[in-house]
Amino acid sequence: MNATVILLGPPGSGKGTQAERLRDGSGFALVATGDLLREARAAGSELGHRAAEFMDRGVLVPDELIIAMVAEAVAALDSKPVVLDGVPRTVPQAVELDALVRAHARELTAAILIDVPDDEVVRRIQGRRQGRTDDTPATARERLRVYHRETEPLVRHFQERGLLRRVDGAQDPDSVEHEVRAALA
Ligand code: ADP
């Protein structure tokens, strides 16, 4: 069955970097919900309009919008392994994703938690500011709060399913990549 790998971690943990490395180095297809939402905004689509206000406040876009968007992205994949960056972010999204993975005869291979302490996250986001409308210090702090409240419960969710792999994200990207690959081996 086709591998499906989830990357979990706080904003600024380097999920995006590691997801791109899996795509470029190991032939994974990449589904990155933050990027898909930013593309939808840039295209001026209905989804983009609806998502914008949530993104700019640093809060989560409603589950039903995310689930529909991810269902479409996964349906468009061929039989490649896929890495998911930024989804699931809530327990209902995880439940829906399970159903989606089964419906496409895929297999949830692992949920890799890229672990980075809060103070390091704040430092990184402040240094980043890549012109994203949601990378202001106040929104960054809100995204981190939202992570702890709504996404961190997924650590236990995946742990209970035997799928959680923990990686030390407070290292340089090459070392993190090494640990990610080891977790998938
Ligand atoms: P980061 O991980 O740095 O917070 P992302 O690019 O993954 O950045 O996400 C940016 C924003 O897009 C989030 O703050 C949220 O508003 C929205 N978003 C992305 N993925 C999801 C998701 N799975 N569920 C709800 N909202 C999401």
- Ligand 1 nearest-atom number relative to CA 146: 14
Active site residue 132: yes
Whether 165 sits among the annotated catalytic residues: the reply is: no
Asked whether 167 lines ligand 1 (CB < 6 A), one says no
Indicate if the pLDDT at residue 145 is higher than 80. yes
Cβ(81) to ligand 1 under 6 A? no
Q: What is the pLDDT of residue 78?
A: 81
Q: Is 67 in the pocket of ligand 1 (CB under 6 A)?
A: no
Residue 48 burial (C-beta neighbours within 10 Å; 0-12, 13-18, 19+): middle
- pLDDT tens profile 87-107: 999 999 999 999 999 999 899
pLDDT of residue 129: 64
First-to-final CA distance of the chain = 16
Instruction: Specify whether 89 is catalytic.
Output: yes
pTM over 0.85: yes
Question: Which residue(s) pair with 5 in the sheet?
Answer: 83, 110
Q: Is the pLDDT of residue 7 over 90?
A: yes
More confident residue, 135 or 41: 41
Sheet holding 29-32, edge to edge: 29-32, 82-85, 2-8, 106-115, 164-168
Chain segment 157-168, per-residue pLDDT in tens: 999 999 999 999
The pLDDT, as a whole number, for residue 124 is 86
Q: Exactly one of 89, 106, 124, 165 is catalytic; which is it? A: 89
What confidence tens digit (pLDDT) does each residue in 33-54 have? 999 999 999 999 999 999 999 9
User: Which residues are bridge partners to 3 per DSSP?
Assistant: 107
Across the chain, mean pLDDT equals 93
Q: Which of 21, 38, 124, 143 is catalytic?
A: 143
In the chain, % of residues over pLDDT 90: 81
Distance 69 CA to ligand 1 centre (A): 13
Q: Is 9 in the pocket of ligand 1 (CB under 6 A)?
A: no
Q: Say how far apart CA 124 and CA 12 lie, in whole Å.
A: 6
